[in-house]
């Protein structure tokens, strides 16, 4: 298919490459042009503007936030002006490694015939696509709720690890127990590992993006009048992380706040040399 | 091995049967004698008292709460008086169906030689045993923290399901999406299903037991000075459930409170027979 | 002074009357004209439109929410088009009875000379004016934070009263003890009394307005990156109250939710005949 | 009256002195004898043991915690063995300065005739005594609930002050506005002032004692099945303060945690000598 692809960050670059490899005719656009090079070498075409990327049958955006989406969508010569109708929402679950491996989970909603037309693309990007209705907004709410559930896992693991750690139990062994018994889901292994190591950089999904999604979930909850106390707790955790300077950390860094509250100083690194501390301690050290 | 087994509830009866089937010499004791019958038919021996069950190499208790354990352990002619030293703590994760299928997850801690001696028994009861140190108390803390993590899943699912439900998304399809994509852990399928159906009876693990475990986790957290705000939230959820008369419900019923807060009146049942679903609504109906 | 006064609800009508009585030349406007009558009899002039009310030196708005303010301020021939510069923000604390008695507390911010010019008006409306800086927005933030502190009092009293009530202590005697000893502030007497009686109608300050102010405080907190967990708790309480149909109740009705959570059925009235129940129970009764 | 007085800390010493000045025959006991000297000079008698202090009509304890009370009450030759029946519970509200000025608020419960007999003593200690029933335990629950309400004020003020401070509003002026308008209760002036100054030492009521009282309130709430989410929040705040080394701080130091979460580095001191203010910053400085 003829595809326009806008946004070549860690997720987007991996996904666009998969589409090229699957034989699609992909025209890419990114604000900073240096990111396009690898794609062009792989066989993608270059668009000089958003409008140039909108001549195909499908356009995919993989942008950091709604402002960025609005910019490319609503601008003069933007997506909305440049493309035909038939919207499908298909948010993805997965981190950059899953994007590279074409193992994203995709939740799609929209007109059934439009969905069917997009299926080959979705197959090139992910291992599974689940349809959740005909309203595109439903897919976005499911995506937001999924990120809420993942953030809840991070918070719960953060508290549990702070607890067993202070009791003298090995953090890594503990995460191994959890992820190989009652919680055989990648999220527990991935986030449990990051929290046990206290390793929140580089960010695969940055804290401000996690904060944004929890905020959007809470906005939807307010419109629908659904009190979500755990989402409120997560909101306050992210806000605190950002207030303390955590903008460049992975969103799993909220899982380090429980240890910070417990006054725990942590060490990481098998060699005993490298030293990682919980977020707040780290900052104290840096001052 | 020669084993004493005390406590023949839904979990204990299934586990004791597995031990008999694995060829062990099992002597069972239960306060209400009628529960012993099926075990005796399977080949177990009957003990007339706790002390009578304590003549073997190993004694296993599967009791509802600490008071019950203290009763059998500390009483005149109880376990402590009647058994040799060499304690191993080996709490299990899993619901009655996992116990029956010998697919429990077991976390064990204690003296390595004592642990090795128990291994054949643990193999007859579960699909996996993970050693977590030499302090028996460590295994218990891991068990408590595991139940905290499960309760966190229930609360998070309860809020997410209340949200998407009020947005008009099908609850069962939503749980199917979650458990087949980002959360391929049985807990999400099991508890998500129960919450989506609003089906909290009969209790596989009763709410007062969940409340007890969250309380014990918070006690440990207080001793170790580890603030756990999510555990506090769960504590308040369970307390509210019990205050509203939920003692006989499954602990996953706290996952119905978010819908109750959202004022949701739900109907369930494939047959179209509407019935009230959220915990509070159910009670209002019963009055 | 020549004053335009827009918004004649319970608060505004009492305040405009005080200005007329203090000898000022007051022109009133209200969307529903029947509310102007009493003011006209007292000596106020009538404006046929917002613009007609904007010919004086000062214009005061006493409207329910920001949408209403924006309507009269930003409309064609609205306040912004019709009035000279020199803004002063002077939000008031107090319920309708305090407005009628000219005993409001006023927090003012703005240009010092503009503030001085308004002082006679403020003196006619309240018992005390406190200047809090030259930025009008500062006065609004103080107002919002004051309503946050009042809502915190309501929540705290709601929980404390639910506790002592279930222990068999008389709720009214308890509130009397508190308000005559450690908490000699009117808020404790007023809200404690309403919660003890379970009497949340008619609304002196309606729940949706309280919810709005907590929401605005949380928005300011988010912009400034200040996590406020107690404000988040209050947000969830209000959202639950509204989700359960509490739009017409006084905002102190969130103080009835703790008793609802505790499963408490309350009786009120010395004669034993009248029966008041906590918010949720009341609704159950009404169904 | 003939009175035994046990416990001569900052509160007890001031109270015992007031009883001596009121003409009562007071025999004092304290574990560390040096604290008795000032009382003996004032005219009190010295007891060599708890039992020696129990020969009078009334015995008053003013001890830091329940362990200390249990020690003197239940020990061999302790209070319970040494005194006649007729218990009255009369917990007091007030800080050491109120104790010295005989302006404590006293909440009393017990047998009416026993209460009447104690009235002269209570009059010598406080400005007001309120009877709350015949069950001594009721007075203790009211005392605990009062400390819960005070801690709620501290938390609410801590969040509000962190908010307005980050918006550039002067903290002291803000507290002055609050305490002279909507919150004319000493608690707002006292705790607002301490939080605005970031001055949490010396402790008039130490953080571990506040933590203990919130814990006892939550225990009562659990027994009575009354969920108290705000009390849970306060519990977590105190636990965090203690985990971070705040044992010697005044309990109002939990009011500094919101500013710590907001990443605020504050300076205080009219002399312009900057010093670090928020709890965590203070610790960072001390390392």
Residue C280 has which token pair? Answer: 């949720």
C139-286 sits in which CATH class?
Answer: mainly alpha
pLDDT the model gives residue C283: 33
Contact B228 A258 (CB under 8 A): yes
pLDDT the model gives residue C53: 83
* pLDDT grade for C203, boundaries at 50, 70 and 90: very high
pLDDT the model gives residue C137: 83
What backbone torsions phi and psi does residue B100 show, to the nearest 5 degrees? Answer: -65, -35
pLDDT the model gives residue C272: 31
Please write the tens of the pLDDT for every residue from A236-268. 999 999 999 999 999 999 999 999 999 975 433
**Residue C220 or residue D264, greater confidence:** C220
Q: Which chain D residue has the Cα nearest residue B247?
A: D225
Q: Given the residues C143, C166, C212, C282, select the one marked as catalytic.
A: C143
Q: How many residue pairs from chains A and B have C-beta atoms closer than 8 A?
A: 191
Q: Does B167 touch chain D (CB under 8 A)?
A: no
pLDDT the model gives residue C274: 30
Nearest Cα of chain A lies from the Cα of B103 at a distance, in angstroms, of 10
pLDDT the model gives residue A221: 96
Q: Which of B93, B183, B224 sits opposite A167 (nearest CB)?
A: B224
Low-confidence ranges of chain A (pLDDT < 70): 65-67, 69-70, 72-86, 265-287
Distance CA(D165)–CA(B37), nearest Å, equals 71
Q: Which residues of D touch A243 (CB under 8 A)?
A: 261-263
Distance CA(C161)–CA(B214), nearest Å, equals 25
Name the range with the highest mean pLDDT among A256-270, B193-207, C59-73, C94-108. B193-207
Contact A164 B183 (CB under 8 A): no
**DSSP per-residue letters across chain A:** -EEEEE--SHHHHHHHHHHHHTT-EEEEE-SSGGGGHHHHHHT-EE-SSTGGGGSSSEEEE--SSHHHHHHHHHSTTSHHHHS-S--EE--EE--HHHHHTT-EEEEEEE-HHHHHHHHHHHHHHEEEEEE--S-HHHHHHHHHHHHHHHHHHHHHHHHHHHHHHHTT--HHHHHHHHHHTT--SHHHHHHHHHHHHT---S-SSBHHHHHHHHHHHHHHHHHHT---HHHHHHHHHHHHHHHTT-TTSBGGGGGGHHHHHTT------TTS------HHHHHHHH-
For the cut 90, the answer to whether the pLDDT of residue C284 exceeds it is no
Q: Which residues of A are catalytic?
A: 143
* pLDDT grade for C235, boundaries at 50, 70 and 90: very high
Contact B227 A261 (CB under 8 A): yes
Q: How many CA atoms lie within 13 A of D140 on its CB side?
A: 13
C143 is catalytic: yes
The full set of domain ranges for chain A reads 2-134, 139-286
Q: Which residues of A touch B239 (CB under 8 A)?
A: none
Q: Which chain D residue has the Cα nearest residue C94?
A: D182
Q: Which of B222, B225, B242 sits opposite D225 (nearest CB)?
A: B242
* pLDDT grade for C75, boundaries at 50, 70 and 90: low
- Chain-wide mean pLDDT for chain B? 85
Q: Which of A178, A230, A258 sits opposite B233 (nearest CB)?
A: A230
Q: Which residues of A touch C227 (CB under 8 A)?
A: 236-237, 239-240, 243
pLDDT the model gives residue D200: 97
Contact C245 B262 (CB under 8 A): no
> How many other CB atoms sit within 10 Å of the CB of residue A161?
29
pLDDT the model gives residue C70: 67
Distance CA(A203)–CA(D52), nearest Å, equals 69
Please write the tens of the pLDDT for every residue from D43-99. 999 998 888 888 888 888 888 766 676 676 666 666 666 555 667 888 888 878 889
Contact D287 A287 (CB under 8 A): no
Contact A263 D280 (CB under 8 A): no
* pLDDT grade for C66, boundaries at 50, 70 and 90: low
Mean pLDDT in residue range C136-144: 88
Q: Does A101 touch chain D (CB under 8 A)?
A: no
Q: Which residues of D are catalytic?
A: 143
pLDDT the model gives residue D277: 34
Low-confidence ranges of chain D (pLDDT < 50): 266-287
Q: Which of C244, C263, C287 sits opposite B263 (nearest CB)?
A: C244
| Strand pairing category for C104-110 and C92-93 | antiparallel
Q: Which residues of B touch A263 (CB under 8 A)?
A: 225
Q: How many residue pairs from chains A and C have C-beta atoms closer than 8 A?
A: 41
**Residue A108 or residue C73, greater confidence:** A108
Q: In which order are the strands placed within the sheet that holds D2-6?
A: D45-46, D25-29, D2-6, D58-61
Q: Does C239 touch chain A (CB under 8 A)?
A: yes
Tell me which CATH code domain D2-134 carries: 3.40.50.720
Q: Which residues of B touch A107 (CB under 8 A)?
A: 177, 181
Q: What is the 3-state secondary structure (H, E, C) of chain D?
A: CEEEEECCCHHHHHHHHHHHHCCCEEEEECCCHHHHHHHHHHCCEECCCCHHHHCCCEEEECCCCHHHHHHHHHCCCCHHHHCCCCCEECCEECCHHHHHCCCEEEEEEECHHHHHHHHHHHHHHEEEEEECCCCHHHHHHHHHHHHHHHHHHHHHHHHHHHHHHHCCCCHHHHHHHHHHCCCCCHHHHHHHHHHHHCCCCCCCCEHHHHHHHHHHHHHHHHHCCCCCHHHHHHHHHHHHHHHCCCCCCEHHHHHHHHHHHCCCCCCCCCCCCCCCCCHHHHHHHHC
Q: Which of D235, D263, D278, D286 to mutate to test the interface with A (most CBs of A within 10 A)?
A: D263
Nearest Cα of chain B lies from the Cα of C260 at a distance, in angstroms, of 9
Nearest Cα of chain B lies from the Cα of D126 at a distance, in angstroms, of 35
Contact B287 C287 (CB under 8 A): no
pLDDT the model gives residue C134: 84
Burial class (CB in 10 A: 0-12, 13-18, 19+), A1: middle
Q: Which residues of D touch C258 (CB under 8 A)?
A: 226-228
Nearest Cα of chain C lies from the Cα of A220 at a distance, in angstroms, of 12
Q: Does A272 touch chain C (CB under 8 A)?
A: no
Distance CA(B285)–CA(B275), nearest Å, equals 10
- SS3 percent helix, strand, coil of chain B, rounded to 5, is 55, 10, 30
Please give the ipTM for the structure prediction.
0.81
Contact D225 B233 (CB under 8 A): no
Contact A236 C240 (CB under 8 A): no
Q: Does C195 touch chain D (CB under 8 A)?
A: no
Low-confidence ranges of chain B (pLDDT < 50): 266-287
Q: Does A85 touch chain D (CB under 8 A)?
A: no
Lowest mean pLDDT among A143-152, B244-253, C1-10, C130-139: C130-139
pLDDT the model gives residue A284: 33
For the cut 50, the answer to whether the pLDDT of residue C268 exceeds it is no
Residue D54 has which token pair? Answer: 């129990």
* pLDDT grade for C86, boundaries at 50, 70 and 90: low
Q: What is the DSSP letter of C93?
A: E
**Cβ(C121)–Cβ(C56) under 8 Å?**
no
């Amino acid at each position: 298919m003829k595809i326009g692809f806008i946004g070549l960050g860690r997720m987007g670059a991996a996904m666009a490459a998969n589409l090229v490899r699957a034989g699609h005719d992909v025209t890419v656009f990114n604000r900073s042009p240096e990111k396009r090079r690898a794609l062009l070498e792989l066989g993608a075409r270059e668009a000089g503007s958003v409008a140039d990327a909108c001549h195909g049958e499908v356009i995919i955006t993989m942008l950091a936030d709604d402002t960025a989406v609005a910019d490319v969508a609503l601008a003069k010569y933007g997506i909305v002006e440049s493309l035909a109708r038939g919207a499908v929402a298909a948010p993805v679950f997965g981190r950059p490694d899953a994007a590279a491996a074409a193992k994203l989970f995709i939740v799609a909603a929209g007109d059934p015939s439009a969905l069917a037309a997009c299926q080959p693309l979705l197959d090139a990007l992910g291992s599974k696509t689940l349809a959740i209705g005909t309203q595109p907004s439903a897919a976005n709410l499911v995506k937001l709720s999924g990120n809420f559930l993942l953030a809840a896992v991070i918070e719960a693991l953060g508290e549990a690890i702070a607890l067993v750690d202070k009791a003298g139990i090995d953090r890594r062994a503990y995460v191994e127990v959890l992820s190989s018994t009652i919680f055989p889901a990648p999220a527990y292994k991935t986030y449990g590992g990051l929290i046990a190591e206290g390793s929140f950089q580089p960010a695969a999904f940055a804290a401000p993006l996690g904060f944004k999604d929890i905020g959007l979930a809470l906005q939807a909850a307010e419109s629908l009048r659904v009190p979500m106390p755990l989402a409120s707790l997560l909101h306050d955790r992210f806000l605190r992380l950002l207030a303390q300077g955590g903008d460049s950390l992975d969103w799993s860094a909220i899982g380090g706040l429980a240890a910070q509250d417990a006054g725990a100083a942590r060490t990481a690194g098998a060699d005993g040399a490298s030293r990682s501390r919980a977020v707040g301690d780290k900052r104290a050290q840096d001052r």
